[in-house]
């Protein structure tokens, strides 16, 4: 590894968040949504995930829903020989989130990923299965050694309060939600509440949809990026982690873009830059529906 690559990795490793159970992780990880959908991109996508590991972006997030398991299979191939370097996250569909279905779904994810244990298993979003039943099932998976810890995804404040009121519900270590500069609704009540509970946010789509085209066109982001000799999207990604309580999981199939994402960890935004971004992308003043894509 070159000195420049080592420097990038050091910056990534220096920016961390802490899960509710005390586990420390880098603030930048890797998403896999839509990976595995195009066979022609398979080798490139595997290389992208491995490049991320090289740069210290050790959290790899996937789900049984992504490509009907294809993303998990691809992530599993990327992890061959490197399992100990990675923190592997997968998610269970709501209709599988209880009883024997939960156990079977978890075993399916383990098989596709080629691992014996998930570092983190998330409820993808809430459905008809009561949270109480999901918590019970997650705790059993922990006791059986199939998962190390569990959490949730796409739960808003009311559901999170319900979750933590349940027996063992407080064992949830995080909540994964959509969060980026143009989608800040969680800052009104969900994020402050989670901060009080010492529970970090996992931010999916931190660069928005469509490769971040909307964010990339922001004049404010462009100005800040020019000053720092960075790209607008690197600044947008740096913004998501500046609070110290967000783990961002950008997805890219391009190894060069992985490097650009990793370099965002070297950016510490100034108060002036944060204020500029607040003016360009205003904070919510009222309760907003939870954005889900």
pTM for the whole structure: 0.97
Q: What is the phi-psi region of residue 167: left when phi exceeds 0, alpha when psi lies from -120 to 50, beta otherwise? A: beta
Q: What percent of the chain has pLDDT over 90?
A: 94
50 in a structural domain: yes
- pLDDT band at 282, cuts 50/70/90? very high
User: What does the pLDDT average to over 51-79?
Assistant: 98
d(C-alpha 20, C-alpha 197), whole Å: 8
288 in a structural domain: no
- Predicted local confidence at residue 209, as pLDDT: 73
- pLDDT band at 157, cuts 50/70/90? very high
33 in a structural domain: yes
Q: Which of 70-79, 170-179, 208-217, 262-271 has the lowest mean pLDDT?
A: 208-217
- How far is Cα of residue 272 from the mean position of the Cα atoms in its chain? 27
Q: How many domains does the chain have?
A: 1
Q: Report yes or no: 92 and 104 within 8 Å, Cβ to Cβ.
A: no
Q: Report yes or no: 206 and 250 within 8 Å, Cβ to Cβ.
A: yes
- Predicted local confidence at residue 65, as pLDDT: 97
Catalytic residue (choose from 66, 121, 179, 204): 66
Annotated binding site: 124
Q: How crowded is residue 283: how many other Cβ atoms within 10 Å of its Cβ?
A: 9
Question: Would residue 55 show up in a list of annotated catalytic residues for this protein?
Answer: no
Q: What percent of the chain has pLDDT over 70?
A: 98
285 in a structural domain: no
d(C-alpha 205, C-alpha 190), whole Å: 18
Residue 209 to residues 65, 73, 134, 245: CA-CA distances in angstroms? 18, 23, 30, 22
Q: Report yes or no: 202 and 177 within 8 Å, Cβ to Cβ.
A: yes
Residue 175 sits in a domain whose CATH number is 3.20.20.100
Annotated binding site for substrate: 124
- Domain that includes residue 138, residue range: 3-280
């Amino acid at each position: 590894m070159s000195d420049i690559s080592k420097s990038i990795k050091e910056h990534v490793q220096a920016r961390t968040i802490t899960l509710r159970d005390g586990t420390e992780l880098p603030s930048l990880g890797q998403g896999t949504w839509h990976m595995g959908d195009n066979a022609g991109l398979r080798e490139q996508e595997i290389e992208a995930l491995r490049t991320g590991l090289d740069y210290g972006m050790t959290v790899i997030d996937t789900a049984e829903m992504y490509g009907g398991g294809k993303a998990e299979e691809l992530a599993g191939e990327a992890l061959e020989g490197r399992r100990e370097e990675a923190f592997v996250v997968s998610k269970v569909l709501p209709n599988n989130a209880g009883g024997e279905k939960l156990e079977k779904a978890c075993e399916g994810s383990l098989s596709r990923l080629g691992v014996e244990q998930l570092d983190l298993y998330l409820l993808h979003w809430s459905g008809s299965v009561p949270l109480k039943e999901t918590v019970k099932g997650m705790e059993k998976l922990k006791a059986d050694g199939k998962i190390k810890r569990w959490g949730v995804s796409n739960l808003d404040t009311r559901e999170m309060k319900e979750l933590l009121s349940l027996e063992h519900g407080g064992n949830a270590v995080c909540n994964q939600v959509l969060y980026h500069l143009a989608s800040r609704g969680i800052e009104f009540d969900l994020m402050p509440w989670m901060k009080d509970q010492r529970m970090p946010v996992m931010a999916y789509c931190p660069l928005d949809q469509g490769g971040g085209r909307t964010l990339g066109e922001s004049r404010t982001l462009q100005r800040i990026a020019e000053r720092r000799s960075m790209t607008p999207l690197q600044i947008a990604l740096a913004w998501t982690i500046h609070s110290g309580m967000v783990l961002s999981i950008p997805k890219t199939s391009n190894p060069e873009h992985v490097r650009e994402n990793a370099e965002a960890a070297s950016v510490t935004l100034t108060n002036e830059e944060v204020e500029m971004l607040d003016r360009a992308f205003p904070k919510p003043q009222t309760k907003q529906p939870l954005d889900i894509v």
